A and B are shown apart, each in its own frame.
Chain A
């Protein structure tokens, strides 16, 4: 990416932010929608938080840019019982998340308005902190300026130049195929040449590279794989952040909350942790939209996408469904072919 393109990119993002605010105000002013869900700058850190605007004045707080990380689709579940339309400022992953909720009939299509925004990727604060040699807690403000990110650290008055954005993206953003969102009601931002050109590019890493870690694990011995997963699972806090963030984890009654049958026992036991992660991964198999929200939400950094990617890889080899999360494909576990493979049956 040339420096000129990035200079244009930061200007595009400023224009996008303005266009999001204007469109949200307009929709709320005319009462076409009851609420607009997007991101706003947080008071206490570099990353944006979800913002729920119900008045044009609140719509002035909307933000756009690489610091707007968390997924927004799942908040629609909180609003599903109420009357009126809710608009979502949707990047590609958010739009796929909304689509997942619509297919699962968890939200009503008439009550959702998806406003698409092109996305250049959302930074990974851990990677950024590592690149700068600081802890994530020391990051105060991150903006995209000409050339690269500009980062202000704790105790500093002025922001200093940081690494380029594409060096601090999480793996899911690097493998993202929907930086131009699909299945949206309208696209915001108008003519944003640099952002659109960047978002229209093929992903930085292809599917094979994204699945390289899965392939590496598959080649280990069974005991090594067990040790790898047991080591990760014993760090799990059982906070259910992965479930809460995931747009595919949307059952009316969650097995993880169930007391009868009681699927989960005490979290200090390894077999119970295997049960938890088995249930989570199996229940989103074939329905995962590859947004990476589970990993992003995990406070101890479990490689949860490696579980999800194992399923998408097997689904591809067994059933020939290439990208089950993209429009035009059926749920691979919600249908069958009479001549499916029967390797051990």
Chain B
């Protein structure tokens, strides 16, 4: 997928009308990825704005992934993991929770929109919740508009 082609300004005059947010979702292998899978196999409708990256655990997600995704063309980042207490590795999501509580406040402090970072707990049986979260987040990020503040100029 070419980065240049997905830039809203590169798509011609009616780009603004057609623009849709681009969301990178880091889904933990054990719960949220299965949840996303369930949403698919259950034929649930949700906006095609989300690109899923499978990670072993929400604790794997380094906060700098968020900036990297925004740099390379994402408009929002969703971190999805098992519900607290359900982590496959027992505690990974608890550490992720502390980390992202701080990270969201920190990007807000740097002047970025905090709503570009979402963290949600989605279990393997919550296909509906996955679809709902993507729907809500797409609407919220669409309201913010394209990310320009930390996007690379290439």
Contacts and interface: CB of A to CB of B under 8 A. Distances in A.
Contact of B64 (A278, A333, A336): A278
A218 B107 CA distance: 11
Contacts of A282: 63-64, 102-103, 106
B60 interface: no
Given A275-B68, A343-B101, A345-B121, A269 B152 contact: yes
Contacts of B99: 333
A271 B152 contact: yes
Contacts of A270: 150
B118 A336 contact: no
Contacts of A217: 109
A341 B84 CA distance: 12
A224 interface: yes
Contact of B95 (A226, A272, A319, A336): A336
A315 interface: yes
Given A224-B111, A226-B149, A227-B111, A318 B97 contact: no
Interface string A327-345: 0000011001010111111
Q: Across the A-B interface, give the 10 residue pairs with the lowest CB-CB distance, nearest first.
A: A226-B111, A225-B111, A336-B94, A271-B150, A345-B119, A271-B71, A274-B150, A310-B109, A282-B63, A275-B67
A338 B97 CA distance: 10
Given A218-B109, A344-B118, A345-B120, A314 B102 contact: yes
Interface of A: 214, 217-218, 222-230, 255, 263, 265, 269-272, 274-275, 278-279, 281-282, 285, 307, 310-311, 314-315, 318-319, 332-333, 336, 338, 340-345
Contacts of B107: 278
B119 A222 contact: no
Interface of B: 63-64, 67-68, 70-71, 84-85, 91, 94-95, 97-113, 118-121, 149-153
A340 B150 CA distance: 30
Nearest to A230: B111
A225 B109 contact: yes
A209 B106 CA distance: 20
Contacts of B149: 226, 271, 274
Contacts of B84: 338, 342
Contact of A332 (B85, B98, B119): B98
26 contacts: A223-B111, A225-B110, A225-B111, A226-B110, A226-B111, A227-B111, A229-B111, A230-B111, A269-B153, A271-B67, A274-B149, A275-B68, A275-B71, A278-B110, A281-B106, A307-B109, A310-B105, A310-B109, A311-B102, A318-B101, A333-B102, A336-B97, A336-B98, A343-B101, A344-B104, A345-B119
* Majority SS at the chain B contact face: helix
A222 B95 CA distance: 28
Contacts of B121: 345
Contact of A336 (B91, B100, B108): B91
A148 B100 CA distance: 48
B98 A333 contact: yes
B63 A315 contact: no
A228 B111 contact: yes
B106 A311 contact: yes
Contacts of A271: 67, 70-71, 149-152
Contacts of B94: 336, 338, 340
B126 to A, nearest CB: 14
Nearest to B66: A278
Given A222-B111, A278-B64, A310-B106, 9 more contacts: A224-B111, A225-B109, A225-B110, A226-B111, A271-B149, A274-B110, A342-B84, A344-B104, A345-B120
A217 B111 CA distance: 9
Contacts of B64: 255, 263, 275, 278-279, 282
Nearest to A226: B111
A342 B85 CA distance: 14
A226 B112 contact: yes
B110 A333 contact: no
Contacts of A225: 109-111
A30 B111 CA distance: 57
A265 B67 CA distance: 13
B63 A278 contact: yes
Contacts of A274: 67, 110, 149-150
Contacts of B120: 345
